[in-house]
Amino acid sequence: MGLNPGAAGFHGDRLGNGVHVLTECMPGVRSVAVGAWVRQGAALDGPGQAGASHLLEHLVFRGTGSRSRRQIARSLESVGGSLNAYTSREHTGYEARVLASYLSRAVDVISDLVRDPRLAEGDLEQEKMVVGEEIAAVEDTPDDLVFELHGERLWRGHPYGRSILGTRDSVAAISRDDLAGLHRDRYVGANLVVAAAGAVQHEEFLGLADEWFGQIEPGSEAPGVPDPPAPEEGIDRVARDASQMHIVLGRTTPGHSHRDRHALILLAAALGGGMSSRLFQRVREELALAYAVFSYQSFYTRGGVSGVYAGTRPGKAPEALDAIRNVYRHIAAEGLPRDELDRVKEQVKGQVMLSQESPGARLHRLAGFALYREPFVTLEELTGRIDSVSNCDIVRVAADVFEPERQYALCLGPH
């Protein structure tokens, strides 16, 4: 990652063991958001171990060498703070938000989870049951399940299409030794990013990071995700007893660092980014074919996905799908007219600026630069990049990504 120490409020350093330490000071706030990220996620789970990264993230909260499950839960809640974790395709994150006076305690707790999880056999069996309930909840929620099925087929077996939760069989087969090995190999200095945003001073936080993370073994970075294959195209239908037909239409895109990312973000906003978007106006307001219709995007290191979800009455599913594809066809052929492009730019810039007013949002953004090995970009520089997207960029990207015949659609619902 290229550091940009001249950027207001931003600082970056590395500890001797390779841990990447970042801070962004936000004047005028009294709290601080702090987190640690491991370059290990569902797309990096080993063969036959789908769901291992997520299961390990759950298990660390069962206890560490110095804290019980209950002590972990109370450690920050007792002072008004919060503690959370998540697993994504390529990363696992542990985060807290506290008043600035409790920053040291938050770093201590997070480092305890990362460095010294107990990983007891009895805890593992209990946590497998909890994850099993998560899997069941997705299976019982068609508008969640349709994304899982669509991603699995769209990526044609590539790890980006793998369920973060894993399957019942894969989770059941994961042993305590498997998770201990995963922790030993991946929770290492070269694979760690530690960051804080809000009422924080860099030198103070750097000292805390060195105190609590500096003794972790340096290790080596996790191997990269392989390049994805050509994506699936066409239409699939999956029978499901439900009152609605759930439709996801999507295509793979370039990855997080690609120059076309901002053009894709603008196009997704124009298509389904709010009540003024083309799909909302056409599919819901004009044709009354859906209550919910929206665009979504995810960007990973080696690729991404851009798509649309709609829920409609089973008998209207072909009509709804045709309406979505027609909107795609129009935007792929013509891009966006100047006035619409200008309006969408203002919409996206406003959403970005509003979303970044909390330390938690700044923390996620800050960590992302290190996780994707990108130079730090101020919010002003970011809005400038959005403004710099030209109509030629929009036309080129729209023709490549949003051509309806190149999409993959999955319809989940009654026959």
Give catalytic residue positions: 57
Residues contacting 96, CB < 8 A, separation 6+: 33, 34, 35, 76, 81, 82, 83, 84, 106, 109, 110
Report the 10 Å Cβ neighbour count for 235. 14
Contact present, 51 and 167 (Cβ < 8 Å)? yes
Distance CA(15)–CA(315), nearest Å, equals: 60
The alpha carbon dihedral of 398, 400, 401, 404 has a sign of positive
Place of tokens 């009354």: 288
Whether the CB-CB separation of 91 and 37 falls below 8 Å is answered with: yes
C-alpha Rg value of the chain to the nearest Å: 22
Report the alpha-carbon distance of residue 388 to residue 199 in Å, rounded: 32
Token code pair at residue 373: 């090995």
Contact predicate 283/313, CB 8 Å: no
Closest CA relative to residue 257, chosen from 373, 367, 352, 348: 373
Residue with tokens 């851009």: 306
Q: Which segments within 166-292 are labelled E, that is strand?
A: 192-198, 234-239, 245-253
- Cα–Cα distance measured from residue 293 to residue 327, given in angstroms and rounded to the nearest whole number: 13
Distance between CA 134 and CA 142 in Å, rounded? 14
H helices of 335-407, in order, are 338-355, 359-371, 379-388, 391-401
Which residue type occupies 175?
Answer: S
Contacts for 157 with CB less than 8 Å, ≥ 6 apart: 229
User: Measured between alpha carbons, how far is residue 412 from residues 41, 134, 244, 310 in Å?
Assistant: 27, 20, 8, 11
